[in-house]
Amino acid sequence: MTLVVYFHGDNILLERAKAKRIAPEDLHRIYNIVEELKISSGLEETPSIYVIDDPALEAFSVGRDPKKSAIVMTYGLLTRLNRDELQGVIGHEIAHIKNRDVLLMTMCSVLLGSMIILSHYPSYMSWSQTVVTVQEPSKKQYSDRKNLRTAFTSIFLGWIVILALPFGSSVSLAFLIAFAILSLILTPLTVGILIGLPFAVLLIYYAISRKREYLADACAAVYTRYPEGLASALEKIASFTEQLQSATQATAPIYVANPFGKHGTERNKITDTHPPIMERIRILRLMTHISFADYNSAYKEVHGTHKTILPTYMLANADRIAMLAATADDVDYVQQVRETSAALWNASNYKTVTCACGTRLRLPPTYKQSEIQCPHCGRINPV
């Protein structure tokens, strides 16, 4: 599992999200932003750009190292955010790539998946149903009890073999009884570990995910020198209610914001994949100048704590830099929609037929006719 995810995890995530790779000439404005932030962050290579044809506002990054990385954004994000907001989101994702968060979270997800697989031998989750049932047992409940007895028996015998193995054929009856008693003690403990370990790993996975989100927010503020850009983008994401169709609970931690979160009512819980989005916005807007130390101070103020959230080495190099002013957006909403739609059509191998009247017709790869009639002027155009 580790080898497959390490070498092909990015392809699996991109395929699962139904993301299309976009050429630089099709989204030159977005590639320009990525190139700017690649320089300001010191990233070695420029990430590729992928787009998901979905109206939700989401983004994530993939790649086991900065030399093989990509930033994935939805159609909704590209068409609804202005330049400063897009810079904030892209800066956040570049920070994940530069800090190797993608690789870290991928390895954590493999560990979590392995623990869940181990815990499902056999179906321990039916234990609670078996214990609390007070009605007449059904065939399924009888099967659950049988599975539980089989699990205890197999683990019990396994412990006897493991404990007696070093002694070989010299094991006496007294020793065997002692091993059986010890195995009886160890068996419930083993079952408890198998049941509890996935939940423990899950909490660690979420805790790591939340901490890396704070770090990526701080880096995005430093890279862009404009914290309000990311804060405003998160505000739009929080107010947008439509969920990303391709998101799953397993992939939720990789997104810029929890794709299943009710952002208006969320609280900081240990089972959350992300910090509360409103809290992230407050921290960014409390920054008075650009430095990791200032972000850390804003975090302490919001949380009312003396604990730091950023690594010590980042706080040691905390130069004070003035914030940039907001930039005037160079395109309007209609232009953004046309540009992004055209990029998705090209990525999906759509054909373009331009009629003499100026109408541009987009034909899917499945269109097999040799000609098409213009819906505006009625001319017949060859394909």
pLDDT of residue 84: 95
**Over 80: is that where the pLDDT of 23 sits?**
yes
Averaging pLDDT over each range in 96-110, 118-132, 214-228, 244-258, which range is the top one? 214-228
Pick the range with the lowest mean pLDDT from 65-69, 128-132, 280-284.
128-132
pLDDT of residue 283: 96
- 30-53: average pLDDT: 95
Of the pLDDT bands very low, low, confident and very high (cuts 50, 70, 90), residue 107 is: confident
Q: What is the pTM of this model?
A: 0.78
Closest by CA position to 302, among listed 288, 286, 323? 286
- Residues 301-332: pLDDT tens digits? 999 989 899 988 888 766 678 888 888 777 78
pLDDT of residue 118: 57
- 332-358: average pLDDT: 90
**Over 90: is that where the pLDDT of 298 sits?**
yes
Closest by CA position to 7, among listed 110, 87, 160? 110
Question: Across the chain, what does the average pLDDT equal?
Answer: 84
CA pair distance 34, 82, nearest whole angstrom: 14
242 counts as catalytic? no
Residue 65 three-state SS: strand
DSSP secondary structure string for all residues of 312-366? HHHHHS---BPPPPPPPPSS-HHHHHHHHHHHHHHHTT-EEEE-TTSPEEEE-TT
- Residues 50-60: pLDDT tens digits? 999 999 999 99
Averaging pLDDT over each range in 8-22, 190-204, 276-290, which range is the top one? 276-290
pLDDT of residue 48: 95
Pick the range with the lowest mean pLDDT from 114-118, 187-191, 343-347.
114-118
pLDDT of residue 113: 64
Position with higher pLDDT, 191 vs 70: 70
**Over 90: is that where the pLDDT of 37 sits?**
yes
Alpha helix ranges (H) inside 43-138: 75-80, 83-98, 101-119, 127-132
Q: Could you say which of 58, 93, 235, 339 is catalytic?
A: 93
